[in-house]
Amino acid sequence: MTAITAVTWQNTVAVEGVTPMPPEAIVGQVKAVAEDIGVDAVKIGMLGTAETIAAVERALELVRGAPVVLDPVMVAESGAHLLELSAREALVDLLPRATVVTPNLAEARALLEAAGRTAAEQPEALARALHDLGPDVVVVTGGHGDGTDVYFDGRSVERIGGQRYPDGAAHGSGCTHSSALAAQLALGRTPVEAAREAKRIASEAVRDGLREIGAGAGPVDVFGLSRNRG
């Protein structure tokens, strides 16, 4: 089930505009699902504004007990900013509500800077510093680095390797990773098991990505559409 926080006007080349949803509409969408269908896990993606973040915090009160995966979406694959600079501190305040937070390297550094912390260079140091801000688990994704994700749960560090596909289609790879991780938590996996499976799913979705769509970074293919054509 999806609670829409914003409508973007975009294609494979660029994000041309963003229209946030009214805060009451965000809370209302979550309330409708929680009261009827139930919620086994939550994935939070693009939020955009401080007002939207406040609405999501209110909505999380309706789904207490469900694990929460926070993907701190700040910049699109095309380079467009998807989170107002003034909202970064509000996003930091949301971190203690997260079971797992899944920033890439740039997002991890931006979150630490918004929290008034000195951002480290190495992924493990970033993961440890972010963990101090309140989430149960941090997974610093390596899609823009050497491809290795760094997992830290406050006790142990695990490096989750995976195949890189530089010629793949990567539009939506971060969103796919965090969504897959949330789905695995809903299925009862532990956070580290969910992180490993999410890495596999996202990597294969890039490998199988639909390169022929659009002039920019084509969309990932998480459902194997390219393999099932016939």
Two tokens, residue 112: 């630490």
Two tokens, residue 52: 């939207």
Query: Rounded to whole angstroms, what are the CA distances from 227 to 23, 61, 131, 166, 230?
Result: 40, 41, 39, 19, 8
What pLDDT sits at residue 191?
A: 98
What pLDDT sits at residue 78?
A: 65
What pLDDT sits at residue 146?
A: 75
Reported as a single tens digit per residue, the pLDDT across 9-38 is 999 999 999 999 999 999 999 999 999 999
Residue 54 identity: A
What pLDDT sits at residue 77?
A: 66
The stretches in the chain having pLDDT less than 70 are: 77-79, 143-145, 229-230
CA 206/CA 123 separation, integer angstroms: 22
Q: Where are the domains of the chain?
A: 6-207
What pLDDT sits at residue 229?
A: 67
Asked if the 6-207 domain carries CATH number 3.40.1190.20, the reply is: yes
* Cβ proximity of 40 and 63 under 8 Å: no
What pLDDT sits at residue 144?
A: 56
pTM: 0.94
* Cβ proximity of 202 and 176 under 8 Å: yes
Reported as a single tens digit per residue, the pLDDT across 138-151 is 999 986 567 899 99
